[in-house]
């Protein structure tokens, strides 16, 4: 049994260095191109096929999953636990802002205090980890795909490979990168990464 986790393609907010969170931004033309390239890389070159697909409800994740797998969203299981980090009042603001809250969000996650309506990084780690543990108890088929977001994937990695919260964003996860996980006792371990080196690095 293998579990795959896919980050969505680029959006205009990614390209413009704007915080998205759960704002429902569609793929940009570049993001669509990346998703088609990922289809070639993942399903053609590596020959991967997915028996079951879970997706964040956000359109950028759903559309990426459709393009990469060649399957309709009607076949996906939509689950809010896979959505991106809730950023509250940070949504739409530039990541280049020289404000304490933005500097902490981008560079010092261990010092980040969410604004109204926001979610902390530890809370995101627990949400991602809780979903993974829930999946571990399900009767999954041979190959399952999760279509999600950069922040969620960083949280997943920190849950599975515990480290310091200040390193939350390191190393980077570019658009349309695919992680492979395999069962490890009552949890999972990361066993492979099929990276897209052309995508935007940070996820938010």
Report the pLDDT value the prediction gives residue 29, as an integer from 0 to 100. 97
- 142 catalytic per annotation: no
For residue 161, tell me if it sits in a domain.
yes
Report the pLDDT value the prediction gives residue 177, as an integer from 0 to 100. 96
Report the pLDDT value the prediction gives residue 197, as an integer from 0 to 100. 67
- 39 catalytic per annotation: no
For residue 197, tell me if it sits in a domain.
no
For residue 200, tell me if it sits in a domain.
no
| Helix, strand, or coil (residue 53) | strand
Between the alpha carbon of residue 3 and those of residues 38, 142, 191, the distances in Å are 17, 8, 10
For residue 203, tell me if it sits in a domain.
no
Number of domain units in the chain: 1
Instruction: Indicate which residue of 8, 39, 149, 154 is catalytic.
Output: 8
* pLDDT tens digit at each of 204 positions of the chain: 999 999 999 999 999 999 999 999 999 999 999 999 999 999 988 899 999 999 999 999 999 999 999 999 999 999 999 999 999 999 999 999 999 999 999 999 999 999 999 999 999 999 999 999 999 999 999 999 999 999 999 999 999 999 999 999 999 999 999 999 999 999 999 999 998 766 666 555
At 27, list the tokens.
């793929």
Instruction: Indicate which residue of 10, 30, 84, 86 is catalytic.
Output: 84
CA 28 to chain centroid, in Å, comes to: 17
Structural domain range at position 143 = 6-181
């Amino acid at each position: 049994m293998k579990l795959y986790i896919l980050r969505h393609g680029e959006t205009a907010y990614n390209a413009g260095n704007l915080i998205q969170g759960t704002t429902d931004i569609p793929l940009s033309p570049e993001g669509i191109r990346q998703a088609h390239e990922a289809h070639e890389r993942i399903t053609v070159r590596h020959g991967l096929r997915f028996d079951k697909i879970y997706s964040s409800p956000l359109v950028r994740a759903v559309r990426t999953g459709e393009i990469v797998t060649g399957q309709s969203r009607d076949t996906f299981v939509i689950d809010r636990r896979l959505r991106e980090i809730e950023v509250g009042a940070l949504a739409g603001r530039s990541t280049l802002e020289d404000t304490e809250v933005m500097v902490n969000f981008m560079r010092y996650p261990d010092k980040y205090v969410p604004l109204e309506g926001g979610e902390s990084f530890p809370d995101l780690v627990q949400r991602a980890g809780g979903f993974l543990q829930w999946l571990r108890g399900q009767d999954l088929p041979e190959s399952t795909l999760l279509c999600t977001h950069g922040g969620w994937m960083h949280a997943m990695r920190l849950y599975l490979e515990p480290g310091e919260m200040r390193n939350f964003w390191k190393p980077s996860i570019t658009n349309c990168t695919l992680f492979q996980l395999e069962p490890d006792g009552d949890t999972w371990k990361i066993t492979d990464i099929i990276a897209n080196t052309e995508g935007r690095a940070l996820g938010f």
